[in-house]
Chain A
Amino acid sequence: MIGYIARRIAYLIPIWLGITLLAFALATFAPGDPARNYFQRTHGRQPNPTELAQVRARFELDEPIPQRYLGWVGGAVQGDLGLSFSSGRPVADELLNRFPATLQLAAAATLIAVAVAVPIGVLAALKRNSWVDQLTRGVAMLGASIPSFWLALLLIIFFSVKLQLLPSSGRGGFDHLILPALALGLGDAAIIARLTRSSLLEVLGEDYVTTARAKGISEGRVVVRHVLRNSLAAIVTQVGLAFGFLLAYSAIVEVIFVWPGIGLLAVEAIGQRDYNMIQGFVVFAGTIFVVINLVVDLLYLWLDPRVTLGPQERAAVA
């Protein structure tokens, strides 16, 4: 088991390096000269050659590209992602400052998704092919088709503009969290509900469920003790993966609700052509995404001891 975890982590290192290469290439080969742009924005005029050289030196742009990459990755490992072109502050600090807001939003969205989806999924599985099941299928299909940013706008129109119940932008008290979390979480609820249903159906067909029923155990107890317990691993996995995606996909919802998370930061950085910030963001988000996937995998192993590492998994870590 420990060997497996170690191999999984070792396997992530080349992937992580690939992400840094991608981030660096994006920022380095993008059109435009970041040093010149920076000087023009801060001084309002074209730089002379000496000034340009100074700016280049400050942002470590004066070295050959391979050296810059190595220096940057070396820094990234130690949590130094360079300086932001727009604020002049360390990129890592800005990302860390903004990250809690994104985390809070994604966590709230996941809570909503689970609270809505799991009961519906269980109900749909227990009443298979009934109208409840058909209805969830339809709603799930609709949920997968509604663009989350449109849902966000509809929520604003209804709850902020018409009813004037909830604020439509910014981060503050609990009331600020509700609309963005709903906009982000409802789409996911659709997916989780369907998955809950199918993993429950799988377990409901098992012999030990029939045995439990035959022994005269009440249906409620069968569902909670035997069925739910055994479909937990699949549900938790899906929720974990969804959480990773929510962290990423929150960007658009953050823009709409002016929620000060890393997604909004990235979109702002793109607008200001802040290359260092963008490459820092790509590495930061990529790292988090990779780590979440790893944790979910390990959680699955822990929750479902029946899963043994077959040849496929061994091949994957080899």
Chain B
Amino acid sequence: MAVEAASTFAPDADRLGSPTVLLPKKSLLRQLIRDRTALVGLIILVVMFGLALAAPLVAPFDPNDADVVNRYAPPSAEHWLGTDNLGRDEFSRLLFGARISLFAALAVGIAILAIGIVVGMISGFAGGLVDGILMRIVDVLLAFPSLLLALTITGMLGPGLFHLLVGMAVVWWTDYARLMRGLVLTVKERPFIESAKALGLPRRLIARRHILPNIVSPVIVLGTLQTGRLLLALSALSFLGLGVQPPTAEWGAMLSEGRNYLASAPQLMLYPGLAITIAALGFNLLGDGLRDILDPTLR
């Protein structure tokens, strides 16, 4: 079942026999640059994360500065993308929105990665009853559509960015846990692990030194694609009003506000949605490219 669960990455798991580390950093970067898909994805993400970080320096206006006289202004030299229903600068709001949207998705991504790795490794190493219980929990969570469960949990906790992050993290770690468990089970039986065991190395050391490096590449691929999905889910839930509350700028929340002016000012719907799409595209392109590079068997 473990092998089956990790089947998408099974070719990878099969190649994990060699004790050499699969990720020589320099050559990965060089390969990334050579793979056009991955490069485009990487550039999109670097630019977007860069702009998000530099938002206070780059943004021409305060994202919450209302200018009632200047509502729904068309794009101009002053307001690059025009202004919204309260006369706030759309471009500045997009930049500040990027900070929350991108980094919140990243935060959930890191949280579920940590939970998934820990649960998956415990499950894979311990086996038996512990494994059984943990995997049944995973089965139950996977038996229910993640987005709806996150929606329900956040709704129960009450709207707000932190609750949204908690709701998402509780639900989404299962893919990593399954992947990790499958990889641990495959790697565990390899000769070089056997010999490390025979040498009397402590289990924790074996896990850290010999097993972790061998599972890095499938996790990187899954992580990149997963973060893109998290971004989409996060903006969808924010759109439903479960995330940050107005007037804070966040892409999903901006769409939610703009929706009220759908007929009179449809342009307000355009930019935040485009931003989400481009960012998600960045993650998908990079993830796809990374998969091609790290797993030549799938080419």
Contact = CB atoms under 8 A, between A and B. Distances in A.
Contact of A18 (B143, B151, B153, B158): B143
B236 interface: yes
A146 B152 contact: no
Given A30-B157, A141-B288, A315 B1 contact: yes
A266 B262 contact: no
A144 B284 contact: yes
Given A18-B139, A315-B1, A316-B4, A150 B152 contact: no
A16 B285 CA distance: 37
B152 A251 contact: no
Contact of B140 (A18, A285, A312): A18
Interface stretch (A152-160, A219-227, A301-309): A152-160
B150 to A, nearest CB: 11
Contacts, number: 131
Contact of B281 (A145, A148, A267): A145
B262 A267 contact: no
Interface residues of B, number: 42
Nearest to A290: B143
A244 B145 CA distance: 9
A164 B140 CA distance: 45
B279 to A, nearest CB: 8
B143 A255 contact: no
B262 A22 contact: no
A245 B152 contact: no
A248 B148 CA distance: 7
Q: What are the 7 tightest A-B residue pairs by CB atom distance, in nearest-first order? A: A270-B155, A248-B145, A18-B140, A150-B273, A145-B280, A30-B156, A145-B281
23 contacts: A19-B140, A22-B141, A22-B144, A31-B157, A31-B158, A150-B255, A153-B255, A153-B259, A153-B262, A154-B273, A161-B266, A245-B145, A249-B147, A252-B147, A266-B148, A266-B151, A266-B152, A270-B152, A270-B156, A271-B155, A278-B152, A278-B156, A289-B145
Interface of B: 1, 3-4, 136-137, 139-141, 143-145, 147-149, 151-153, 155-158, 228, 232, 235-236, 239-240, 255, 259, 262-263, 266, 269, 273, 276-278, 280-281, 284-285, 288
